[in-house]
Structure 1
Amino acid sequence: MIIKPVLPLKYVFKEISVSLLVVLSIVLITDIPVIFFSRHYTEIPVTIPTTLGIAISILVSFKVNQSYDRWWEARKIWGAIVNDSRTLVLQLKMYTESDNPMIKTMAYRQIAWCYSLGQSLRGQNPYENLDGLISESELELLQSQKNVPLGILDFQADSIKTLFDEGKLDNFSRLQFEETLERLTASMGRCERIKNTVFPTTYRKGLHLAIYLFVIFLSLTEPLNLNIVIEVLVLLILSMVFLFLEKAAFRLQDPFENLPTDTPVTSIARTIDINIRQLLGETELPKPIEPIDFYIM
């Protein structure tokens, strides 16, 4: 997640460098007939690029809104995961005896689930950061699971059933645990839906084509018959605004791609880790995730 209000220019140009090179090529190519065949050259009315620019503005605005909605939904889901993870440990402390070893076992499993879910969504190793949080026997059982976070939730459900069968939970407390696990499972499913739902690529290609047409038509209008250097700078700056907004929307639409614009799932998982250990009364706590330059993961 980007945390600074001003982005480094290096990052901005890196994001749109290829598109800017395409724009530069278009400008230089469209200026050839103006320079060498000016007598036979017919200027294009400025209303054409103006109308196209308005249409592009509307399309870019729509895409930014849709992409931000996806990103914000992902952030709200992980906010719910924070709350439900804390709730699960509080319920363990409230509904079971204070010396029950299952409290620490399930609490550590919940920490492991948060790390594993975030890493799975980003296509990373789902077993990373799980050392010391899950027993070796459970780690071996997880090796056969295609969905590691779901396997961890299955362990949690088995533990709740064991506590109930042993008479250490009554019907009411069992139902409370079931509701918490149900919310955690639903949150995982919502994240997977966002991850696996592809934003239509044809929309982006059409928008890029419209921006390139805008540059072509604008370069052939009378107001842009300037010095070649000035004309190139003006067109690059105008197109850069559209291209960067489109690129920002493109990044936001996929909040689990291990990029600076991601939902900060690793940072959130570390916060949950710290919170749960505090609830268990531990004093040696892991450090929060530090920002990387202008963003945090």
Structure 2
Amino acid sequence: MKGYNPKEWFKVIFLIQKSDTLIKLGPFMLIIFIYSLGIAWLEMDYLKIGENSWVQNIPIMHSLLSFVISLLLVFRTNTAYDRWWEGRKLWGQLVNTSRNLALKLAGILDNSDEESRKFFRRTIPIYAFALKEHLQSKVTLYMLDDKEDEEIKPEIDPEKHVPNQVAKLLFAKVNDLYKARQITGDQLIVLNQELMSFTDICGACERIKNTPIPYSYSSFIKKFILAYIATLPLGYVFSLGYYAAPIVTFIFYVLASLELIAEEIEEPFGTDENDLPMGKLSENIQKHVEELI
């Protein structure tokens, strides 16, 4: 995720980033511009359509449909942002859950039990990194290349659901401590609430990732924008002449940019500039857990 200062207007407006919609839409904008010029030449110079032609009434249709397309795009962007924000809240919950678990373990575990402290110090952050890689559809054993993790690595099968396996290791370790009477039943219940939260967060993130916006809805908006833009120069040539070309191109840029932005943020767990900084959040979890335990 790219950080920026929203108060720096000049930089935000004039600095073009790799993720800027202007770069992505550049070729399409050129096509729309040439198309609009062609329509203007065809109607004004070749066919010489008069101002009394029914064609000049086409803008009435655009006036009626402008409200509809505005509602569709507002709903589209709001839905996409809700998915992005829900993903951010879930990862914030993961940070808090990891901290709370580390805090409780730091108070419950005996100071002399360095083995258990070392296990949780390494395994709790591994869950965050494993969830990140899982949501990005990568098969990895991140953080398990360290010699300190030799006891954990054999228990993880990268071909299976890695976050679930890490959560299983955490619960098994807590259960072993209970059986060894190093923690009480009440403490087990307290720790169990935090352990359950890991799987709840993972499931909620998977729901966002595996449930995209319905194809028919996304397809309809794209077709609607294309039809709306394709018919714009037909009627506005009579009032704008060749100036209709840059104006139609700009309208296309605005409408298509909203759709592109919605497409990008509706999947918050990717690697684009506007996606969630899961790597940074995972590193923060690792740092905080190591400080606590």
Which is helix-richer, 1 or 2? 2
1:184: which partner in 2?
Answer: 198
Pair 1:43 & 2:55 matched: yes
Quote the Cα distance in structure 2 between the aligned partners of 1:61 and 1:243: 13
Asked if structure 1 preserves the Cα contact closer than 8 Å seen for 2:22 and 2:253, the reply is no
Quote the Cα distance in structure 2 between the aligned partners of 1:276 and 1:262: 25
**RMSD of aligned residue pairs (Cα, Å):** 2.1
Instruction: Summarize the Cα distance change of 1:95–1:162 in structure 2 as closer, same or farther, 3 Å threshold.
Output: same
* Secondary structure in 2 matching 1:43: helix
Identity %: 23
Gaps of 5+ in 1: 281-297
Instruction: Summarize the Cα distance change of 1:71–1:133 in structure 2 as closer, same or farther, 3 Å threshold.
Output: farther
Select between 198-207 and 155-164 the one with higher mean Cα deviation: 198-207
Pair 1:203 & 2:217 matched: yes
Pair 1:27 & 2:36 matched: yes
Instruction: Summarize the Cα distance change of 1:227–1:44 in structure 2 as closer, same or farther, 3 Å threshold.
Output: closer
Pair 1:173 & 2:187 matched: yes
Larger RCO, structure (CA 8 Å, separation 6 or more): 2
Asked if structure 1 preserves the Cα contact closer than 8 Å seen for 2:126 and 2:142, the reply is no
Q: Pick from 261, 271, 281 the counterpart of residue 248 of structure 1.
A: 261
| Cα deviation code 1:88-140 (max 9, x no counterpart) | 11111111201212022112101111111111101234323443386224213
Q: Pick from 94, 99, 109 the counterpart of residue 81 of structure 1.
A: 94
Asked if structure 2 preserves the Cα contact closer than 8 Å seen for 1:109 and 1:152, the reply is yes
* Secondary structure in 2 matching 1:38: coil
Gaps of 5+ in 2: 7-11
TM-score by length of 1: 0.86
- 1:67-106 maps to which residues of 2 (within 5 A)? 67-100=80-113, 101-106=115-120
Pair 1:16 & 2:30 matched: no
Quote the Cα distance in structure 2 between the aligned partners of 1:189 and 1:142: 19
Give aligned pairs, total.
279
Quote the Cα distance in structure 2 between the aligned partners of 1:67 and 1:59: 12
